[in-house]
Structure 1
Amino acid sequence: MQIKTTNIQSPLAVLLLIAPFFLWGTAMVAMKGVIPHTTPLFMAGVRLVPAGVLVLVAATMMGRPQPKSWAAWLWISLFALVDGALFQGFLAEGLVRTGAGLGSVMIDSQPLAVALLSGLLFGEVIGLWGWLGLGFGVLGISLIGLPDQWIFTLFQGGSLTLDMSLQQLFQSGEWLMLLASLSMAVGTVMIRYVTRYADPVMATGWHMIIGGLPLFGLSGIWESQQWVNIDVSGWAALAYSTLFGSAIAYGLFFYFASSGNLTSLSSLTFLTPVFALLFGNLFLSEVLSPLQWVGVSLTLVSIYLINQREVISQKLQSIFQQPAEIESQNRVVASMNPSEPILDNSDSVTLAQIPVKLQEPEAEMLSNR
C-alpha cells in the first residue's frame, strides 16, 4: 500500500498519516511524566532498542527482506547515528529542562530544514504558499519557544545582552531541542538514500537498535539508579513511549517518508506540539502564555498553507486565467469579422451572433431555394 501525502482521500489514510504525530505528541507527555523517576539517556535507550526489536519482528512476519549489502548497512548505521542516537539523546536531555508541549514545539521546527534539503537534493517544489506556510511555522515556533521577556523587550525597542540571552537559552533546554530538531530533519532526508539499498521498515527497526545501544552505553557510564525509582505508572509510560511513540510512529512515518513528498509530510510535524500541548495541559497541568497560544495558532495556519499549497495555487491560477481565456475567445470572434468591435468580458457570445461568411457556391445554392 502506498499513500501519497499530496493526494489523501481515504479517511483511513488520513488517520494513518496523522497517527505518528499524535503518538509522538502524547509520547512526549508520557516521557515528561516519568523523567523525575529515571535518567534521560536510559529513557532514550528504552524508547529505541525494544521498539526496534518489535519493528524487526513485524517486518520479518511481513516477509520484508533483510539488508544485505555493505552500502545498506553503512547507510543504516549513519541513519542510526543521526536519527537514533543524536535525536533521541538531545530530546531526552532537553526534556529534563523544558515542558513536554514546549519541547515538542522546538523539535518541530525541523520542516524548514527538511524543505530546504528536499528542494536542494530531490528537487521538490515548495512554491510561494509553501514558503509562506514555513514562515508562519517558524514564527509560531519562535513565539512559543523563545522567552516572553525577549519578545516583549524587542517589541518595546529594548536590547538584550548576549551573555544573559545565551545563559537563559542554555538553561532552559530549548537549544538541545533545536539540535534534536536538526537531527530529525537530516534523518528524514536520509531515509530516501537508505531505502535505495534497504527495505524502509527493516531499516527503521535496525536503526533504532543500532542507535539505541550507544545511549545505553553512555547511560551506564554517566548515569546511576536509572530504574530504581520507576513505579508501575512510570513503566506504563515508558511502554507507551516505546510501543506507540517509537515502534508504530516511526514505522509509519519513515514508510511515508520513503515514498511521499517530504516537505508535505514533514510539515505535518507541526501537529505534534498541538497534541503535546493539549495532553500536557490535561495530564501535567502545563500552561502556556497568551503569546505562546498565538504561536500555536500560527503553526496551524502553517500546516494548512504547506499541505494545501498546490490546491491554493491551482485555484488562484484558475481565477486569474479565466478572464484571460474569455478575452482570447473574444479576439478570435472579432478576427472573423474585423468590422465588429471586440467584446468585453461582460458580453455573452451566442452562435447566432457569430458572423459566418459563406463560400460563393453555398450562397448561390441558398439563393436558389
Structure 2
Amino acid sequence: MKAASNKVLIVLAFIAIYVIWGSTYFLNKIAVTELPPFMLAGLRFVTAGIIAFIIAKSIGLDIKVSKKQFINTSIAGFLFLAIGNGFVVWALKYVDSGFAALEMSAQPLIVLLLLRILEGKKIKFMSFIGVGLGILGIYLLVSQNTVSNKENSLVGIGVIFLCMISWAYASIFVSKAKLPKHFFVNSAYQMFMGGIFLLTLSLTLGEQWTAPNTWQTDTQLALLALILLGSIVAFTSFNYLLRVVSPEKVATSTYVNPIIALFLGWFFLEEHITLQSIIAAAILLTGVYFINTKKTLLIFSRFSSKIGKKYREEM
C-alpha cells in the first residue's frame, strides 16, 4: 500500500513540475500586463515563503537555521528567484511567454559551460553535439524578424540570457553550500529572501504599488495560482522528486515546460508561433537532450548528486 501511495505521489509531483511550472510563464504574462514586474515577483515569493514557514511550523519542522545557512539560503534566493526568476517576469513585458520558456530551456547548456569555465570539467563528445545544437536553436529562435522587430525585444532576450546564467550558477552554488537540512525549510527561506530582494528593488526603482482589491480578476487569480501552485506545490514537488528519483528524470521537465508554455500562450493569449520557432524548439530541445542524456550526465554528477543528498533527509 505504501509503495502504491509513493508511486501516486511521484506521478502527481511530475505532473506539478511539468504542467504547473510550464504554466508559470503564461500566468506571469497575464499578471505583468497590469502589475509592475518586481513588485509582482516579490509579492509572490514573500507570500509563498511566509505560507511555507507556517506549514513547516504546523507539521513540527524546526525552522531555526545557523548564520551560515541563512546567508547561503539568501544567496540562493537572490540567484534563483530574484535574478533568475524576477527578471524573467520583467522581460515578459517585451517577449512572448512561450518564447521566454523556450529560451530558458537552454539552461543545461549554460550549466555545462559554467562547469567547464569554473571547475575545468571536460565536455564529452555527446555534450559537444548538444552545445552545438543548443546554440543553433537559440540563434534560430532569436534571429526571427517577428521577434527582433518588436520594441525592446532584444533587451528582453538579453535579460533572459542573464537570468539563465544566474540560475545555472545558483545550481552549482547550492551543490556545495551548507543549507538547511529539510528541503521545505530551505525552500521557505529561499522564497522569502528572494522576495525581499525583489520588493526592495521595486521600491528602489519607484514602481507604483496598488492594492489587490483594485486589480483585475484575471490578475488576482494569476498571482494566487503563482503563489499556491507555482511556488508552494511545484517547488515542493521538485524538491521531493530530488529525494526519491534520479536527477536526470527530474530534468525531463526541461523538455515539457516550453511545450506547455507555448500551447498556453498560443491558445489563451493568441501568441503567434512561427514555423521557424517550431524548428528552433526542436533543435534546441534535442540539444538539451544530448546534454542531459545518461552518457553525458557524468559532467553534472558532482553537483546534481550533492543536491539530491541535501534533500534526502526524512521529514
TM-score by length of 2: 0.77
Contact 2:179 2:186 in 1 (8 A): no
Q: For 1:77 and 1:100, how far apart are their aligned partners in 2?
A: 28
Secondary structure of 1:96's counterpart equals: coil
Does the 8 Å contact 2:108/2:291 carry over to 1? no
Distance 1:169-1:216 versus aligned 2 partners, 3 A rule: closer
1:224 aligns with 2:208: yes
User: Paired residue for 1:35?
Assistant: 32
**Partners of 1:63 and 1:14 in 2: how far apart?**
26
Q: Identify the residue that residue 161 of structure 1 maps to in structure 2.
A: none
Offset of residue 100 of structure 1: 0.5
**Cα–Cα, structure 1 residues 15 and 125, in superposed 2: closer, same or farther, change >3 Å?**
farther
Cα distance change on mapping 1:262 and 1:124 into 2, 3 Å: farther
- Pairwise CA distance, 1:262: 5.5
Residues 32, 93 of structure 2: 8 Å contact kept:
yes
Residue 143 of structure 1 and its aligned partner are, at CA, apart by: 2.0
Aligned twin of 1:66 = 63
| Residue of structure 2 equivalent to 1:89 | 86
Q: Quick check: 1:56 aligned with 2:53?
A: yes
Gaps of 5+ in 2: 1-5, 297-315
1:138 Cα deviation (Å)?
3.9
Report Cα offsets for 1:18-38 as digits up to 9, x if no partner: 532421221110111122211
Distance of aligned partners of 1:112 and 1:67 in 2 relative to their CA distance in 1, 3 Å threshold? farther
In the alignment, the residues of structure 2 paired with residue 186 and residue 54 of structure 1 have an alpha-carbon distance, to the nearest angstrom, of 27
* 1:101 aligned counterpart, secondary structure: helix
Letter in 1 for 2:144: D
Q: Is the 8 A contact 1:188 1:254 kept in 2?
A: no
Q: What residue number does 1:207 align with?
A: 190
Match 2:226 to one of 241, 250, 257: 241
CA distance in 1, matches of 2:241, 2:119: 16
Residue 241 of structure 1 aligns to a residue whose secondary structure is helix
Aligned equivalent of 1:147: 143
Match of 1:282 in 2: 267
Q: TM-score, normalised on structure 1?
A: 0.67
**Secondary structure of 2:92 counterpart:** helix
Instruction: Give the superposed CA RMSD.
Output: 3.6
| Aligned residue type for 1:174 | I
Displacement of 1:120: 7.8
- 2: CA distance between counterparts of 1:277 and 1:198? 36
How far apart are 1:190 and its partner, in Å? 2.5
Per-residue deviation, residues 273-309 of structure 1 (Å, max 9, x unmatched): 1110011101101112111110122244345444543
CA deviation string 1:69-108 (max 9, x = no partner) = 2221121111122112222331121111111011122222
Amino acid at match of 2:110: A
How do 1:162-173 residues align onto structure 2 when only pairs under 5 Å count?
Answer: 171-173=154-156
Q: Summarize the Cα distance change of 1:257–1:302 in structure 2 as closer, same or farther, 3 Å threshold.
A: farther
Contact 1:22–1:275 (Cα < 8 Å) also in 2: yes
- Equivalent pairs counted in the alignment come to 291
Which one has a bigger Cα radius of gyration? 1
* CA offsets 1:239-258 (integer angstroms, 9 cap, x no match): 11111112222223345457
Q: Give the conservation status (yes or no) of the 8 Å contact 1:195–1:258.
A: no
Q: Per the alignment, in what secondary structure is the counterpart of residue 142 of structure 1?
A: helix
Alignment of 1:242-281 (within 5 A): 242-256=227-241, 265-266=250-251, 268-281=253-266
Aligned position for 2:109: 112
Tell me how far 1:227 sits from its aligned partner.
4.4
Q: How does 1:347-366 map to 2 (within 5 A)?
A: none
Aligned to 2:309: none
Give the whole-Å Cα distance in 2 for the aligned partners of 1:267 and 1:121: 25
Contact persistence 1:129–1:306 (CA under 8 A):
yes
Asked whether the equivalents of residues 66 and 199 of structure 1 are also in contact (C-alpha less than 8 Å), the reply is no
